[in-house]
Amino acid sequence: MSTTRSRVSRLSRRPRGRAGLAAALLLALGLAGCNTRSPETTGSIGGLGATGAVARGEIDALAERSKADPGDARLAIRYARALRANDQAGQASAVLQQAALRNPKDTALLGAYGKSLVEVGRYREAIEVLSNAHTPANPDWRILSAQGSAAAQMGEQGRAQGFYEAALKIRPNEPSLLSNLGLSYALSRNLDQAEQTLRLADAQPGADARVRANLALVLGLKGRYPEAEAVLRRDMGPAEAAANVAALRKLAAQPNRFKPEAATQRG
């Protein structure tokens, strides 16, 4: 058995970690923030790239094909994408795990599996798997972003920022990376640096609503609620923007809002 195969097998038996403060902040807002859903593109485990629900019949067909050939890496990724589109992230991760055990050197598959682990909250495992999905000689900015997202969720903001900064050297001014980095600065209590980074992200052509959601979050934490609401209104109606700002006010009023949650394990 190879070293990578042994590591994948060992990781699969570890307990799941609990989401940290980043998720709590974003859930308090009810916004699609960077580090919750997509490690590679502003919180996107869009790593699997699923969009929209998939018909039950198609999933059943993919399940049959996967059962017949569980070692087909490309089929496993496609099947996992379909499962994820139907909100079955845990099952998608299990499919990718089995394929990774059979293809321990397939970097594309390991990347998809690692990103799926981030999505289901198994952050430390994700970082280890993702470390095998690229090499120092040929780094992938999307993998680095996913590793940063996992580290941020565990409260390891310095480590997360290192991943994001390394990714930005490969993909300068990528708005999703800047947005994740800005959120990590916020979680490090550096709100001025967070705002500066998020404004740079917002100025990029590819910036989307998730980037602006994180900018609004930081503005709210700084007590600049009218500015936060103005940013939110670029992507939502006045009533929804006002409701989110009200959530921000409650969040900012909490005395320990920046106290990182300890990394705990549960079965």
Burial class (CB in 10 A: 0-12, 13-18, 19+), 79: buried
Closest CA to 127 of 107, 142, 143: 143
pLDDT digits (tens, 9 = 90+) for 186-245: 999 999 999 999 999 999 999 999 999 999 999 999 999 999 999 999 999 999 999 999
Kindly list the structural domains of the chain, giving each domain's residue range(s) and its CATH number in brackets, ordered by start. Answer: 3-262 (1.25.40.10)
Q: What is the mean pLDDT of residues 88-117?
A: 95
Q: Would you say residue 106 has pLDDT above 60?
A: yes
Task: Please report the pLDDT score of residue 53 as a whole number.
Answer: 76
Task: Please report the pLDDT score of residue 13 as a whole number.
Answer: 39
Q: Which residue has the tokens 């994740």?
A: 180
E-strand stretches of 2-156:
16-17
Closest CA to 185 of 202, 162, 161, 168: 161
Helix (H, G, I), strand (E, B) or coil at 17: strand
In angstroms, how far apart are the furthest CA atoms of the chain? 59
Give the N- to C-terminal CA distance of the chain in Å, as an integer: 27
Q: Would you say residue 50 has pLDDT above 80?
A: no
Its pTM stands at 0.77
